[in-house]
Chains A and B, each alone.
Chain A
Amino acid sequence: MADKKIVDGRGSFCPGPLMELIAALKSSQIGDELEVLSTDKGSANDIPEWVRKVGHEYVSTTEEGGVWHVIVRKAK
C-alpha cells in the first residue's frame, strides 16, 4: 500500500528541501507519494528538474501563501 508523506522543508537553508527529499526517498517504498513543502522558490524549480533526471515521477507543484507544495512519487 503506497504511503503519502510530507517532507517539511520550510525555512530550511541547509540541507534544504531538495536534499531533504533525497533523504526521505531513501526510507520510502516505490509508489510512495512525497509532498515537499518549501519556502524557497529555487527548490520549487530544482526538485522537478532532479526528479526527471533521476527517474522518479513528478506529479505537481502548487503555491499557497509563499509555500510551494511539490509532489513527487518514488518510481525506482
Chain B
Amino acid sequence: MKILIVGGGMGGTILANSLARRLTAELKAGKARITMLSASDKHMYQPGLLYLAIGRMTPDELYRDQASLLEPGIEFHVDPVEEFMLDDNRVKTRSGKTIDYDIMVIATGSRMFPEGIPGLAENAELFYTEESALKMFKRLQSFEGGKVVITVGVPHKCPMAPLEITFMLHDYFKDRGLSDKVQLHYTYPINRVHSLENVAKWAAPEMNKLGITYDTFFNIKEVDGANKILRSEEGTEIKYDLLIAIPAHKGMEVVEKNGLGQGGWIPTNRTKLNMEGRSNVFVCGDTTNIPISKAGSTAHFEADTLAENIAAMVKMGVPVREYDGKVFCFIEAGKDRATYAMFNYQNPPDPKAPTKAMHWFKMAYNKLYWISARGLL
C-alpha cells in the first residue's frame, strides 16, 4: 500500500510519524510504503512567530531539520507537488517525478494573503512569516508612541493570534515605559472581539481593563498608506500610526491551480476527513474547507484520526473512527499569563481566567512541540 503525504507541516509530520510507528511491520515487509513530499527541508514551529514579532524568540528557535523529525522508514523528498492527477492516483513533482499512490493525504497548509487588500502589504506590519515577523519587531523597537491598530481578516490561521498579539503588545509597550504614549486599537470582522463567544466574553472586559479600544463588524477593505487610514467594507475608517494586520488567508497556490478547491480550501468530509468525492484522498490541517479553526491543534488531532484510520485500512481494509472536531488553543493574555480554549463539534469552549501556570505550560509546549511533531505527544 503506497501512502503519499503531501506537506511537511504539523499535520503531515505527525501523521507520517504516527503511521510509521503503527505500520513498522508492514514497512519492513514491504507491504506498505510512506512517502512525504515537502517544499522545504526545514520544519517551522509557526506559533513561535508570535514571540519572534515581539522579541521573545529568535529565528533559529523556529526551525528543525525536517528529516531529523521523521521516523526511519519514511521516504522524505524536498520536491513539492505541482500537479495532482487524482483520477490516475498520481502526482507530478517540481523535479518532474511522477509518484503513484494508493492513499494520499494532502496537508499543504495555508498562507497569509495580504495582496488581496489594496494597500495592506505595503503599509501593514505582518507576522505570519519569519521575514515579516522580524521586520515587525524592528519596527516596534523604533516606535515611540501613537495609535497602534491591530486589524483582522477572514479566514486566518491561528484563531487566538489576534487577541494574543494585542495583549502581548500591551505588555511589550508597558515594559518599554510607553503605556501612556501608545493607544492600542483592535478590529474584528464580526460583532464581538472573537469568533468564540465565551472567549469574547472574557476578552472584551480584559481589553476594557487594559484601555484597549476596539471596533467590531470591521472587515478590511483597503489601506490608504499616504494618509494612514484603514477603511472597512462596512463604511467606517480608522486612523493609525502603526498598523498591524492578520490578513485573510488562502490555501497554497498548488491547490487552487489544480482545481482542488476555491481559495485553496479542499472540500473535505468533516468527520471522515476524505476529500469530497474521493475515498482514497484525505485532507489534513488548514487546507480543508471544514468550518473549524485553522489551528495547529486541529491538524494534530486530525492527523491522529487519520493515522489510526489509514493504518486500519492497511491492516483491515476499513477505517475505525471519526474526527470529532477537537481543537485546543492556548491563549496568551500578556507576557506572563495565559488561558486556553478546548472544544469539539458538540461542545463549545469555556475558558477560565488566565494564570501564570498556563503561560508556563505554553512556554514548555513551545519546546515540547518537537516531541508532538514526532508523533509522541
Q: Which of B189, B263, B293 contacts A14 (CB 8 A)?
A: B293
CB–CB A14/B195 < 8 A: yes
- Does A23 count as interface, using CB distance less than 8 angstroms? yes
Interface residues on B, range: 20 to 34
Bound-complex Cα distance A10 to B292 (A): 10
Bound-complex Cα distance A42 to B191 (A): 11
Measured CB to CB, the nearest residue on chain A to B264 is A27
Bound-complex Cα distance A12 to B288 (A): 14
B292 contacts across to A, CB distance below 8 A: 12, 14
- Does B224 count as interface, using CB distance less than 8 angstroms? no
- Does B30 count as interface, using CB distance less than 8 angstroms? no
A18 contacts across to B, CB distance below 8 A: 190
Interface members, chain A 1-33 (any B CB < 8 Å)? 7-20, 22-23, 26-27
Q: Which of B195, B262, B346, B349 contacts A11 (CB 8 A)?
A: B346
- Does A63 count as interface, using CB distance less than 8 angstroms? no
A7 to chain B, nearest CB (A): 8
CB–CB B291/A49 < 8 A: no
Given A20-B291, A50-B217, check contact A14 B190 (CB 8 Å): no
B293 contacts across to A, CB distance below 8 A: 14-15
Q: Which of B155, B189, B219, B348 contacts A13 (CB 8 A)?
A: B348
B276 to chain A, nearest CB (A): 11
CB–CB A53/B234 < 8 A: yes
Measured CB to CB, the nearest residue on chain A to B232 is A54
CB–CB A17/B219 < 8 A: no
- Does B61 count as interface, using CB distance less than 8 angstroms? no
Most buried by B among A13, A27, A49, A50: A13
Interface members, chain A 29-71 (any B CB < 8 Å)? 42, 46, 49-50, 53-55
CB–CB A49/B248 < 8 A: no
Q: What number of A-B contacts does a CB cutoff of 8 Å give? A: 74
B263 contacts across to A, CB distance below 8 A: 23, 26-27
B76 contacts across to A, CB distance below 8 A: none
CB–CB A11/B190 < 8 A: no
CB–CB A42/B197 < 8 A: yes
Interface members, chain B 196-250 (any A CB < 8 Å)? 196-197, 217, 219, 233-235, 248
Interface string of B277-308 (1 = CB under 8 A from A): 00000000000000111000000000000000
Chain A interfacial residues counted at CB < 8 A: 25
Q: Which of A7, A23, A46 contacts B154 (CB 8 A)?
A: A23
- Does B55 count as interface, using CB distance less than 8 angstroms? no
Measured CB to CB, the nearest residue on chain B to A76 is B233
Most buried by A among B155, B190, B262, B327: B190
Bound-complex Cα distance A27 to B233 (A): 16
Given A13-B343, A14-B327, A14-B343, check contact A19 B248 (CB 8 Å): no
A46 contacts across to B, CB distance below 8 A: 190-191
Q: Which of B159, B196, B233, B325 contacts A54 (CB 8 A)?
A: B233
Bound-complex Cα distance A12 to B196 (A): 10
Measured CB to CB, the nearest residue on chain A to B160 is A14
B360 contacts across to A, CB distance below 8 A: none
B189 contacts across to A, CB distance below 8 A: 19, 22
- Does B365 count as interface, using CB distance less than 8 angstroms? no
Bound-complex Cα distance A46 to B159 (A): 19
CB–CB A26/B248 < 8 A: yes
Bound-complex Cα distance A17 to B234 (A): 19
CB–CB B219/A15 < 8 A: no
A20 contacts across to B, CB distance below 8 A: 291
What is B's interface to A at a CB cutoff of 8 Å? 116, 154-155, 159, 189-191, 195-197, 217, 219, 233-235, 248, 262-263, 270, 291-293, 325, 327, 341, 343, 345-346, 348-349
A-B contact pairs, 24 of them (CB 8 A): A10-B291, A11-B270, A11-B325, A11-B345, A11-B346, A12-B292, A13-B195, A13-B197, A13-B349, A14-B327, A14-B343, A14-B349, A15-B155, A15-B291, A19-B154, A19-B155, A20-B291, A22-B154, A23-B248, A27-B262, A50-B190, A53-B217, A54-B217, A55-B235
